[in-house]
Amino acid sequence: MFRIVQEALTNILKHAHARTVEVALEVQPPWLLVRVRDDGVGVLPERLRALRSHGLAAMRQRARGLGGQWHAHRPIAGGTEIEVRLPLERVLAQEAAEPSDLLGV
């Protein structure tokens, strides 16, 4: 999840010209839900459909690799919103199996 949020923030810094960014993390069993929303110029719909951006494709692949779901869209108010749902059970199992990764060791 960290890498997905990191990629979303990197894309915002590089492309969005956003003034504000909101990151929300929620536990909604059976999911861990993360939303990253900005008020920038917004990603073009054709880029979302085709996933021509390496960053967007990488986020989707990471989410799906963990058995999750990834969705990005342009809200009516503008900007971009990315939502990722990961199976909470799988996230917790991975955390327990790889504690050194969490510490950066």
Closest Cα to residue 39, out of 13, 23, 21?
21
Class of domain 2-103: alpha beta
Domain positions in the chain are 2-103
- Say if residue 88's pLDDT is above 90: yes
CA dist 89 and 93 (Å) reads 6
What value does the mean pLDDT take over residues 92-98? Answer: 77
The chain-wide mean pLDDT, for the chain, equals 87
Q: Give the three-state DSSP class for 37.
A: strand
For residue 82, report the phi and psi dihedrals to the nearest 5 degrees: -115, 130
pLDDT single digits (tens) 17-73: 999 999 999 999 999 999 999 999 988 777 776 766 678 888 999 999 999 999 999
Mean pLDDT in residue range 8-16: 93
